[in-house]
Structure 1
């Protein structure tokens, strides 16, 4: 079981603060990582994954920075953007390349495709995929290393109602399996059905960190904490 820990995490772009002194711990289970546009969620996740350098503070996985993990894709799987696939490649080819680049066994590809429901479409070119199918391929890429931690930014984008129901089941199962699943989303109704814990940011600062069960109404509390209109 692996914790994700932010300690004093701060990021400024020039004079503009994006994240301010964020300190919290995300434990095994599903954490809803919430906040309005511009709250600093994506910047925080990109700092966790070593894609953005913090101005101050640390973001660690199991006590190590992402860059210091010996085999990072076996520890952390991430889906931040499901639009970066080569349109002329098939899903299977994409995963083969990803596995080769990350030092992961090609034997995991079939399991990842099956896990996200793409086994029957694995040899179709991505240019013919819907947005929902691309989201599934992004999830398969994140799951390729059978990671202990999953970092997912709006994983439900493009999924139809059946796809959303499937995703809820997948994320709940992964959390119940002892993995640390971080889900950033604007769809509060979906988060309410899967999350064990909720972290809410507003203007780059921590506004709430605790079990979902302690919040009587997620939408009303979210609006109150982030300055929205309840």
Structure 2
């Protein structure tokens, strides 16, 4: 069973020009629960997640996964599964081909591709080009990519975006099951109504600052 890791944000600050995107954020996300990362658009959620995943360098402070910054993880794909952008797939490649490239790069067995496509409900369109996928299907493919390495940590930015009501219900069940297995599940959203039936813990930020952390 994959090990969930504690996500630690400590005094995190990031400024873009005159805009203070993240302002002294300190928070902790525990394994075994679905934690919602909430705030209005522009609150600093995506910047915080990008810092956690080593895509943006903070001005000050740190963000770690099990005490280690992302850049120093020995097996990143097997430790953290992340979805930050649902449209970052090559439109001319099939869903299976897209995942196979990542599996090979991470030294994962090709059988994982079929497994994760089945998990997210895309097995029957594995051979189809991603260019013809709806936003909801792209979200599912992003989730398949995140699950590829069977990671203990999942970081998902607005994963319900583009899903129909049935898809949202399915996602809710999947996230709860992943947390029940002991994984760390961090899900960002700007709508409390969208996540309130799914989550156990909340982090709420506004203008880059933590305004609430605790149970629903």
Scaled by the length of structure 1, the TM-score of the pair is 0.90
2:172 is the alignment partner of 1:163: no
Aligned mates of 2:162, 2:81 — CA distance in 1: 20
Deviation per CA, 1:10-38: give whole Å up to 9, x if none: 11113321101111100011000000111
Q: Give the Cα–Cα distance (whole angstroms) in 1 for the partners of residues 77 and 113 of structure 2.
A: 14
Q: How many residues align?
A: 212
Say if 2:151 is the partner of 1:151.
no
Higher-Rg structure is 1
Higher helix share: 1
SS of alignment partner, residue 186 of structure 2? strand
Q: Distance in 1 between matches of 2:168 and 2:202?
A: 19
Rounded to whole Å, the distance in 2 between the matches of 1:17 and 1:159 is 32
Runs (4+) of structure 1 exceeding 4 A deviation are none
CA-atom RMSD in angstroms: 0.9
Mapping of 1:76-225 within 5 angstroms?
A: 76-212=80-216
Equivalent in the alignment of 2:13:
10
Inter-partner Cα distance in structure 1 for 2:117 and 2:208: 36
Unaligned runs of 5+ residues in structure 2 are: none
Residues 91 and 130, structure 2, Cα contact 8 Å, conserved in 1: yes
Distance in 1 of aligned mates of 2:64 and 2:109: 25
Greater relative contact order (Cα < 8 A, sep 6+): 2
